[in-house]
């Protein structure tokens, strides 16, 4: 099986031993408390689940700045995006050696993790904006990821953590949320050797469905893991429960039995385009996938990134051998009226734009909101029905 990133075995930071878990939970009640933000909470969940292997906790200032500058930590680990616990208020933890991190996304803010504080350092405003520009490739305050990042706080609390909870993800998505550990185990149980991973923050239409099948066939994969983001998105994106239902219906009706694992992970979308694509590849390698689909404008938003920047970063900026996972580079995929099937547009050079069924996301949302199903060449009717029900409920 493919090795995790940066180590021979996966090292999740969740405390699985019941006695140790109880002892830490009891200790946490007596420790100085820090209510963290959603971004730090998501980082803790990803550390707990093994997705951010081999990191042992939150980065310090030097590691964060170097990661943004060169995609390397101070000890040489290849890493594309800093994993930070930023805050504006350190009054309750200044001088503390161990602290309890409280979850901002769950009622009554339960303890999410216990942290050993190695340093509390302050970023200047220039340093925060330097990091944001490196991560997101822009200084535009309208970029949702940039705007979120620069608002998280200037104090960097760093050190190893022990995770006690997976926030709201396990309770709200019991059938879908899976740690990297659990996905690795399930891949082994299936006996799959070659595994394709597909990232999604949206419902899957015909093009996405066929792209998964194309990738499986092209690399000779035993199965595909459809791996959906379950955390926070920008306003207007379709919520996770609706996406989950739509994807499950599509897999049930249109994929061969036992060829797909449907799972999700607890992370907030960064909208960081190329850098986020590399981060996505790392945690797919950690969960055991051998191949990862990266399509047009992967992890992008608006017009901030070129259509294939998230692919070319693997050629231009990811050092050879830094990752073991293979990247399946996908073109824009659409239904061909000429061939009566979904194809990658680069594989149909004799086609004009009119030969494809092409609909913008805006147009599709308008149709669904009006109770009009997109054409079956674009969206499976059963999937469209779930999405129309959602839009009808929003309008009611």
- Is position 155 within any domain? yes
Residues 226 and 350 in one domain: yes
What would the pLDDT profile of 108-143 be if each residue is shown by its tens digit?
999 999 999 999 999 999 999 999 999 999 999 999
Residues 142 and 257 in one domain: no
Query: Which range marks the domain in which residue 50 is found?
Result: 18-167
Average per-residue pLDDT in the chain? 94
Active-site hit among 202, 248, 296, 365: 202
Q: Give the pLDDT score at 396.
A: 67
pLDDT tier, 335 (very low <50, low <70, confident <90, very high otherwise): confident
Of residues 270 and 344, the one with the higher pLDDT is 270
Residues 361 and 290 in one domain: yes
pTM above 0.85, yes or no: yes
Active-site hit among 102, 178, 184, 201: 201
Domain end point (choices 149, 167, 185) = 167
- Is position 3 within any domain? no
What would the pLDDT profile of 166-192 be if each residue is shown by its tens digit?
999 999 999 999 999 999 999 999 999
Active site (annotated) includes residue 22: no
Residues 126 and 204 in one domain: no
Residues 25 and 91 in one domain: yes
- Is position 124 within any domain? yes
Residues 198 and 346 in one domain: yes
Residues 182 and 99 in one domain: no
Residues 242 and 351 in one domain: yes
Of residues 352 and 236, the one with the higher pLDDT is 352
Residues 236 and 357 in one domain: yes
**How far apart are the C-alpha atoms of 38 and 74, rounded to whole Å?**
26
Domain end point (choices 167, 184, 209) = 167
Beta bridge partners of 236: none
Q: How many domains does the chain have?
A: 2
Q: Give the pLDDT score at 392.
A: 86
Residues 226 and 103 in one domain: no
- What CATH number corresponds to the domain at position 160? 3.10.400.10
- Pairing relationship of beta strands 111-116 and 155-163 according to DSSP bridges: antiparallel
């Amino acid at each position: 099986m493919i090795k995790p990133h940066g180590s021979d075995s996966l090292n999740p930071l969740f405390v699985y031993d019941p006695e140790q878990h109880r002892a830490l939970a009891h200790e946490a009640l007596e420790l100085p408390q820090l209510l963290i933000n959603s971004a730090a909470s998501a980082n803790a969940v990803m550390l707990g689940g093994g997705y951010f292997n081999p990191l042992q906790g939150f980065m310090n200032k030097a590691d964060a700045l170097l990661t943004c500058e060169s995609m390397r930590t101070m000890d040489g680990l290849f890493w594309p995006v800093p994993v930070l616990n930023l805050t504006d208020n350190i009054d309750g933890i200044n001088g503390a050696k161990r602290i309890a991190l409280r979850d901002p996304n769950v009622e009554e803010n339960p303890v999410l993790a216990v942290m050993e504080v190695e340093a509390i350092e302050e970023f200047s405003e220039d340093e925060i904006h330097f990091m944001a520009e490196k991560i997101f490739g822009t200084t535009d305050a309208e970029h949702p990821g940039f705007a979120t990042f620069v608002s998280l706080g200037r104090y960097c609390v760093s050190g190893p953590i022990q995770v006690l909870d997976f926030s709201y993800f396990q309770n709200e998505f019991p059938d879908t949320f899976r740690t990297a550990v659990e996905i690795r185990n399930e891949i082994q149980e299936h006996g799959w050797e070659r595994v394709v991973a597909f990232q999604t923050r949206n419902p899957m239409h015909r093009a996405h469905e066929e792209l998964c099948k194309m990738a499986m066939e092209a690399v000779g994969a035993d199965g595909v893991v459809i791996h959906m983001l379950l955390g926070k998105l920008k306003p207007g994106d379709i919520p996770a429960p609706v996406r989950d239902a739509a994807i499950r219906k599509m897999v049930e009706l249109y994929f061969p039995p036992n060829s797909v694992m449907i799972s999700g992970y607890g992370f907030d979308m960064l909208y960081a385009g190329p850098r986020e694509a590399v981060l996505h590849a790392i945690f797919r390698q950690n969960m055991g996938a051998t191949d990862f689909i990266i399509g047009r404008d992967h992890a992008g938003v608006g017009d901030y990134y070129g259509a294939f920047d998230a692919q070319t970063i693997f050629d231009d900026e990811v050092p050879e051998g830094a990752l073991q996972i293979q990247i399946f580079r996908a073109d824009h995929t659409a239904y061909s009226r000429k061939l009566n099937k979904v194809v990658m547009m680069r594989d149909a050079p004799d086609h004009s734009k009119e030969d494809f069924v092409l609909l913008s996301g805006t147009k599709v949302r308008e149709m669904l909101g009006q109770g009009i199903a997109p054409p079956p060449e674009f969206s499976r009717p059963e999937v469209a029905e779930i999405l129309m029900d959602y839009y009808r409920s929003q309008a009611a």
